[in-house]
Amino acid sequence: MQLGIEGRNAIVCGASKGLGRACAQALAAEGVNVTLVARTLETLELAQREIKAVSKVAVAVVVADITSDNGRDAVLAACSKPDILVNNAGGPPPGDFRDWTQKEWFDAVNSNMFSAIDMIRRTVDGMAARGFGRIVNITSISVKTPMPGLGLSNGARAGLTGWVAGVAREFVRDNVTINNLLPGLFDTDRGCGYLAYRARSEGVDVGDYMARYLAASPAGRLGNSDEFGAACAFLCGALSGYMSGQNIVLDGGAFPGTF
């Protein structure tokens, strides 16, 4: 399928590894110039080299903490008129809510709610004026199924989801869409780290916990990042302009609801 976005410019946050990187790679494969954002130069440059090796697009990197104002300034200085924005930052640490004070909550809300909102605030009017925009927020299945130990994620991401539900309707008329992609468990550092945390919490071997988890999951496996990247690219396609304000679950069927 031709997505019709060749020559477009994308900012992909949290793009040196994992799901963000897979989104960048899938967009680059569609001919989209990508600006990759993360905090670590070495892994960013590795991603840059690997994406360049399999595509013909411009691949820029910005070393920035997307959860800071300065970081967002730097990203938008490097790509001031993005057609596509993929919002993503690291997930908050797992733990027990009894241990979380205002600082932990403010950090989580800043990372997993406000940073995406502020990137949208700074880019969406320009997209609307230019008549094209695709915004994808990487959130989590925790929005629909609260995950044990991930209360900070369950809470902060629900806030982002509520805000997106409202604002998405304001821009679809201008061919700007805003959607959320909700990963279940994927084969990334974060996904595997969470399984290790769950195993430790239950005092069991990580391998045993993983085997039990996979046996109980409908797909019998973790998600592959490339599958996630492909879904992101589809949402960014020219023909996805009638799809906005949606929460798309990618979890191998793990969410048990009918809708």
Phi, psi of 150 (to 5 degrees): -110, 40
Q: Which of 40, 204, 205, 253 binds ligand NAP (CB under 6 A)?
A: 40
Each residue of 170-179: b (16+ CB within 10 Å) or e? Answer: ebbebbbbbb
DSSP string, 239-250: GGTT--S-EEEE
x/- track of binding to ligand NAP for residues 49-88 (CB under 6 A): ----------------xxx--------------------x
Q: Does 197 bind ligand NAP (CB under 6 A)?
A: no
- Residues 12-31 binding ligand NAP (CB under 6 A) are 13-20
**What is the Cα–Cα distance from 210 to 242, expressed in whole angstroms?**
39
x/- track of binding to ligand NAP for residues 83-112 (CB under 6 A): -----xxxx---------------------
**What is the Cα–Cα distance from 222 to 217, expressed in whole angstroms?**
9
Q: Which of 35, 140, 240, 244 binds ligand NAP (CB under 6 A)?
A: 140
SS3 183: strand
Segment interacting with ligand NAP (CB under 6 A) among 27-35, 94-102, 159-167, 188-196: 188-196
86 with 12: CB under 8 angstroms? yes
Total residues at interface with ligand NAP (CB under 6 A): 30
102 with 145: CB under 8 angstroms? no
Nearer to ligand NAP by C-beta: 134 or 198? Answer: 198
For binding to ligand NAP (CB under 6 A), which residues are involved?
13-20, 37-40, 43, 65-67, 88-91, 138, 140-141, 183, 185-186, 188-191
